[in-house]
Structure 1
Amino acid sequence: MSNYLAIATVTATLQRTLQATIQVDVDGARVTTVRPDSVGSGTPETGVNLYLYNVAHNPAWGNADLRTRNTERDFLKRPLVALDLHYLISCYGNENELEPQRLMGSVVRTFHARSILTREVIEDTVADSTYSYLADSNLADQMETVKLIPLSLSMDELSNLWSVFLQTPHSLSVAYEARVVLIESDDIPQRALPVRERRFFAAPNQPQIEQVVPQSGRLQPILADSTLIIQGQRLQSNLTLLSIGGVKITPQQVSTNQIVLPLSSLPQGSLRAGVQSLQVIHPRSTPTRMGRNARVPSQEMRGIESNVAAFVVRPTIQETSLSNLDETADDLRTAQVTVDIDLPIAKTQRVVLLLNERSIERPAAYLFDAAPRTADTNSLTFSIYDVKPGEYLVRVQVDGAESLLNVDTNSNSPTFEQYIGPTVVIP
C-alpha cells in the first residue's frame, strides 16, 4: 500500500512523463501543476498545465478496510482508503501556430501509450532530485497499479468546470482519471497467533467435503474422462447423491471418508469445461398424513447437504481446421480457425484461442476471442488476423480452464519432450 505521499507522487509522475515528450514535440514547452486561473496562475505561455481538480472514493475498493478494529478498539489491520484522481490537462500556446492543438495531440498520444504507471516510472520520479519532497513515497510498492482512463466530459460539464469552478476563460483541455490510489494509515495492527490445527465445524450428520482431487494425482489436471476422489467426513448415508453443476448422480463407490466418481458416468452433455461445483446430498423421505388413516406416497425431502466444493475441468482439443484464408499487404494472414472440443461449451462462457508458433527463432504468439454463439456447442470458431505464416500450437481457454498440449514421449524422436500438438498450419 501507499503512504500519504501517493497523490502527490501520481501528479509528479504524470508531470515528468509529459515533460519528457512535449518538449520534443513543441520547443520550449513545459508542464506545470497549478490552478489554471487567469491572473497569477503561473500557467506556461507555451505548454501544458496538469491540474488535480477532484478526488473521489473508488467504489470497487469501498469495502476493502471493513472490520479494521476488534471489540477492544485495537487495530486488526491498517485502515485503507481507495481514491480515484481526476485531472484536467489544459494546453497553452500560440493559436496561430496551433501550438495548443499540437500539445493536445502529444498529451493524448503519451497517455494512451503509457496508460499504466509502472513501478520503474514511479521509482524514477521519486529518485529525481526535482521531487526531493517525495523521497519517502512508497507508491511504487502498491499492489494495485495506477491506470490512466480518459474521461468524456459533456459540454455542460466542461462549461461548469471552467466558468463556475475555475472562473477563468476556457482553454483547450482534456480530462483523465488516475485509478486507483490506495493510501494506508501508519497505525500498527495486532495479529493473533496462527491456527495450529484446521477443523471443520458442521451440523450433526452433515457431510463435509475437504478436498476434490483426480485419481491420477493431486497436481494432475482434471479432464472429461478423469476419476474424482472426493475426501471428507460423514460422506456415506443410506442414500448418497452427488450434485455436479445442477445434475444429481448416485456414485457407486462410497465410504465414510471417500467417494470415487468417474466423470464419464455423468449424463452425456451435462459436464462443462471450466469451474464446476460439487455437493454431497443425503436425501430423506417422510410420509405425509391426510386425515386419520389416509396416507399419500412418501415425498423426497431436500435432506442434508454438504458444503460446496469446486474443481476445474480442462477441455481437450479433438480437431482443428483452417478456412477463409486470405493474405494482407504485409504478408500476414487472416483466416478462421475452427476447434472441436470434447466438452460442450455454453454460449455464456468466455473462450479464448492461444496460438504459439513452433519455431526457435523469435516465435510469434497470438490470442483471439471466440465468435459469439447462440447455443451450446462443441465446435468453436475464431477469426484470426495479422498472423504470420507458420505452424502453431493450439490451446483454448474456457473461463480460464486451459486445454493441454501433447508432449512427444518418444526418446528417439528429435522433438523428444517437446510440445508437438495440437497444431494448425497457416500457409
Structure 2
Amino acid sequence: MSDFRAIATVTATLRRVLLAALPQDVAGATVTTVRPAEGDNASTPDTGVNVFLYQVNPNPQWRNEDLPGRRTDGELAQRPVAALDLYYLLSFYGEEATLEAQQLLGSTVAFLHTQPILPRSEVTAAVAGSAFLAGSDLAQQVDLVRLTPLTMTLEELSRLWSVLLQVKYALSVVYRASIVLLERRVTPQPALPVRDVALAALPLRHPTLRRVIAGSGEDDPITPGADVVLEGDGLAAPVTVVEIDGQATGTTEVRDNHIVLTLPAALAAGPHGVQVRQGVAMGAPGVQHLAFGSTAGAFIVHPVITKTGNVDDVEVTNVQGLGAAPRSARIRVGVAPAVLRRQTAVLELVTVQLGPDGSGHDVVVQHSVQAADRASDTSRLTFEPTGLAPGQYLVRVRVDGAESPLEEDQAGTPIGPVGAIP
C-alpha cells in the first residue's frame, strides 16, 4: 500500500520516464506537469508533452476488496485502503510546420505501448529526485501501476477541453493509470493470538430422512417417552445429532439406514419437526462442529389418558338432568404430557359400532367439547359438555389435533378409557 504521496509520485514517475524517452525521437522535447493555460499563465512547453491529471475515480474491482476496517466496538481492525484510478490528459506541443506535436504523439504512444507499467526502479528514482516526494513508498505497493490508453469521442474530448476555460485545444490523448492504493499510517488493534488450531476434512454428505415411526410398530401411535425410529439413508457419521424442534436429543442406536431414540417424556403433544445433523468432533473435548443436515421430517406425539392404580383418570361429576332428558356434566381427564396453556384441547365421547357380520367396527364421535380456559400448563383438563345422552362412552382427548389412543382388546376392538353418564 502507499501513503498520501502516491498520486503525486505517479505523476512524477510518468514525467520522468517520458522525459528520458522522447528526446531520443524529437530533439529538445521536454515534459511538464501543469494545468494547460493561455497567455501569461502558460507553462506548457514549446516542444514537448504536458501531463495533466484531470480526474480520479475509485477502482471498481478493488473497492470491494477492502473489508470493514473497524469492529463493532469501534476499534480499528485493519488499515482501510482506498483504491483509485488516475486519468491523465497528455497534450503535445511543437512547431506546426514540422508536425512536431504529431511526432511527439507517435513517440509517446509507442513508448507507453512498449512499457505500459511504471517500474519500481523508476518510481524509486523519481522519489529520490524530488524533495517533496521524500518518504513516498509507492515502489513497495503490491501491484505496479499500469497505463492504459482510453478512447474518447469528439464530443467527450470537447467537453473535457471546455472545462479548461479560455484554453485552446492541443493535440491530446488520454491514459488511465491503475491502480493506486492509499492508506493512512494508523495502527490497528492486533487480533487475539491463536491458542490452538483444529482442522478436519470431511467428504460432502447428504443424509436423507424418509419417515419417523413408533419403535413398537409403524402403525402404532407415537406417545410421550416412547421409542421412535428415524428411517433414511446416510444417517451414520463420526458425529450424528438428532434435533427435535431445534433441540438436540439423545440417541440409543445409530445406523446408516435408521436411528433409534427415546422421546423426552415432557415433549408436548402435537406435531414436531425433526432433523439429523452430522459433523465432526474436534478442538476442545466434547465440542461438536455440525456441517451437514438431513431433509426435514415431522411426526405427531399423541397424548395419553393417564391411570391411577390401574384406573383411568376420567372423573364425571356434577351431572344434571333426569329421565330421558339430556345431561350436562363436568368431566376431568388426566393427560400426559402436560397440555400447554396455548394448546387447544378437545374432549371426544365416542361409541363403537360393529359391522353387520360383527367382524369390523367404526368409531363414532357422539359429543365433542373444548376444554375450559386455563391459566397455566396442566396435566388435568376440565370439560363441561351439555346435551349428553345417558350411557357409557369411550373417552378420547385431542391436543392440537393429536388424538389419544384408545385401548383395544385382542380382537382390536376399542374398550377404553371409559366414562359413564348416569
Provide the TM-score with structure 1 as the length reference: 0.48
From the CA coordinates, give the structure whose radius of gyration is larger.
2
Provide the TM-score with structure 2 as the length reference: 0.49
